[in-house]
Chains A and B, each alone.
Chain A
Amino acid sequence: MKIVIIDYGLGNLRSIEKAIEYIGASAIISKEIPVIDSADALVLPGVGAFRDAMMHFETLERVVKDAVSDGKPLLGICLGMQMLASESEEGGLHGGLDLVPGRVVRFPQSELKVPHMGWNSLVIKKDIPLLKGIKDGSFVYFVHSYHVSTEKKYRAAVCDYGVEFSAVITNKAGNVTGTQFHPEKSGEIGLRMLRNFVGMCD
């Protein structure tokens, strides 16, 4: 089985690579179209700004979308989850990969600090493979100022931070999943989700 972590020039990819290795699978970090094309499953990480990420991603969009239409599992993490949406309001309106219908919006002004940073608990809404064995109320680690606003049917888990926002989203077919939090930084719970993801690749 071949898991490819897509490297589009931003962010720390080592943590997700090591977390996948730690659970006994292996991953390759690559930006090469043939390597991505030959993957059994893809991880789309992400730290930084939406527009920059999409710009760096431009040449890879086709091969990733083809993999998704072939039914291969894709996991988007943090900004990588936001990139799955149709569009984002961060730094002006910009188009996303449109794999899960929705719009990336900023947390509203309130007395709560933005970015939303730290451990917060999940409210699980849908029984999906990634969340197998994960208890309602499990804590995961978030760092973000924007979140994906989408229809209920695409929300597998939500989280409360002044507003109820999407913590885990999924597409209709179920092979595309996104986590707003960092599973690779969420201790045992996060590792369990990564094991579930690896299980989706079999």
Chain B
Amino acid sequence: MLTKRIIPCLDVTLDREGGCVVKGVEFVDLREAGDPVSLAKRYNEQGADELVFLDITASHERRRTMIDVIERTADEVFIPLTVGGGISSTEAIKKILRAGADKVSVNTAAINNPGFVKEAADMFGSQCIVTAIDCRRNKNIKGNEDKTIIELEDGTPAWYEVVIYGGRKPMGIDTVRWAQKVESLGSGEILLTSMDRDGTKDGFDLPITRTLSELLDIPIIASGGAGNIGHMYDAFTKGKADAALAASIFHFGEYTVGDAKEYLREKGVPVRVQGF
């Protein structure tokens, strides 16, 4: 049986020699969490199904290369690796894939130019192209009747607005429609981050995760808000996600990936366990 994936995310900033991993609370107040390559190895040993590296210096500071970090990781860690952050050209994608990454995630560049998703998918294959969508709940329904209205946990309606620059810039775009569009353009997966939840540890944003999982044919990776392993269970069951991404709960040693998998397995969620 195809298993649900647990994906530790390493937010990497390259302000320091060799790069260091950090995890932001809503991408702003950054806390340092260690060397990316050694963290990647540790997660691999714990049974992570994939790894995501996000270059968080890339969008709003000078572009620097992640190539060295990718190469050093891919030389020692033999599970799928996705790299994202500020990627806006097929030339950049080629370099990242050549360094040993298996997939790239695109975000702002796709919003600015949706044709980029298609160009990249045609050139490298859909399986390589993950579209990262950052979104935020918008309870302003009036004047937004054309948006996909979703019922929240408390029964109130909202639509989910696509945001960029770590949530600082709302784009007026409906998340559901945008997700359908990138699927039609050839994106192979969606990495969905709820900015209402990111860094809060309150749990994943289940209403939007479930809506996209049910509507789309490509896998949905739930991201933002994992505070404990019960939240991951909810993402897979109530949210119907194909994969769950988390950063700080793993970085700071609150849980290992193995703990999360053991919990999920006991609760009947299909996961890949170590030793097989």
Contact = CB atoms under 8 A, between A and B. Distances in A.
A113 interface: yes
B102 A15 contact: yes
Nearest to B76: A22
A127 interface: no
A114 interface: yes
Interface in A158-202: 160-161, 184-187, 189-191
Contacts of B219: 113, 117-118
Contacts, number: 80
B276 A139 contact: yes
B210 to A, nearest CB: 15
A185 B272 CA distance: 14
Contacts of A9: none
A185 B276 contact: no
Contacts of B188: 115, 117
A35 interface: no
B79 interface: yes
Contacts of B189: 117
Interface residues of A, number: 34
Given A47-B125, A138-B276, A185-B80, A118 B3 contact: yes
Contacts of A113: 217-219, 242
A119 B44 CA distance: 14
Interface residues of B, number: 30
A125 interface: no
Contacts of B64: none
Most chain A Cβ neighbours within 10 Å, of B2, B49, B217, B242: B2
Nearest to B75: A18
Contacts of B78: 15, 19, 22, 184-187, 190-191
Nearest to B217: A113
Contacts of A137: 276
Determine chain B's interface SS by DSSP, over half rule: loop
Interface string B1-45: 111010000000000000000000000000000000000000010
B3 A139 contact: yes
A114 B100 CA distance: 24
A184 to B, nearest CB: 6
Interface in B214-260: 217-219, 242-243
A143 interface: yes
Interface string B65-89: 0000000001110111000000000
Given A114-B217, A115-B188, A14 B276 contact: no
Given A19-B78, A115-B126, A118-B242, 15 more contacts: A12-B97, A12-B98, A14-B74, A14-B99, A18-B75, A116-B2, A118-B3, A118-B219, A119-B5, A141-B79, A141-B80, A185-B78, A185-B79, A187-B79, A189-B276
9 contacts: A12-B97, A14-B98, A15-B102, A117-B188, A118-B242, A135-B276, A185-B79, A187-B78, A190-B78
